[in-house]
A and B are shown apart, each in its own frame.
Chain A
Amino acid sequence: DQQVKQNSPSLSVQEGRISILNCDYTNSMFDYFLWYKKYPAEGPTFLISISSIKDKNEDGRFTVFLNKSAKHLSLHIVPSQPGDSAVYFCAASGKSYQKVTFGTGTKLQVIP
């Protein structure tokens, strides 16, 4: 039972344009959402997060949007850079515990 889903396994974007990565979840008990970036043969690195009480969080080129009613969140990267090419994982956690459930990942390729 995949509680966090990323339906696009891959995405290609031109350098300078916007990258939009999407994520859907099914567990209404999740109240904290995170995005991680991962290169091959390395551990994930934290990018940005959002609490369920918010609908938007911005950090530099990265913005995460949360639509609780739709159980959907998205990561926007503007402008996209070749160094952003990696696999991006959406993750979610619930109240009172730190266990994190990961999505299936989206491989982003930013074309120079």
Chain B
Amino acid sequence: GAVVSQHPSWVICKSGTSVKIECRSLDFQATTMFWYRQFPKQSLMLMATSNEGSKATYEQGVEKDKFLINHASLTLSTLTVTSAHPEDSSFYICSAPRDRSSYEQYFGPGTRLTVT
């Protein structure tokens, strides 16, 4: 089946610094990717939809200037957490639909971000 990878799998950074997380579709092209975050014992919360060749669409309440998304190619989307604070510590997961018409998503393994 299709594979979505994320890098890094975990990262620790100091408050005030920026962190970039990569999401790659390894054997298929993804014009759309989704970014989620999950707090402990909570659901996956959709943050934004990443669109290749155009601006990302952010969900209500998500700061677009803080969570910068760039869909650089048909196989790569990046999420940059700018000026990170401890409350940004979370598990970030990306996903990509199997194809343009599919509801089924392939999920990456996630990135654990800890801001100290």
Contacts and interface: CB of A to CB of B under 8 A. Distances in A.
B75 interface: no
By DSSP majority rule, is chain B's interface helix, strand, loop, or mixed? strand
Contacts of A100: 34, 46, 95, 103, 105
Interface stretch (A13-21, A58-66, A101-109): A101-109
Interface residues of A, number: 22
A104 B34 contact: no
A34 B104 contact: yes
Interface of A: 2, 9, 32, 34, 36, 41-46, 49, 89, 93, 98-105
23 contacts: A9-B41, A34-B103, A34-B104, A36-B107, A41-B109, A42-B110, A43-B4, A43-B93, A43-B107, A43-B110, A45-B107, A46-B104, A46-B106, A49-B104, A99-B34, A99-B46, A100-B34, A102-B36, A102-B43, A102-B44, A102-B46, A104-B43, A105-B43
Given A41-B112, A44-B93, 5 more contacts: A2-B43, A42-B110, A46-B106, A102-B43, A103-B43
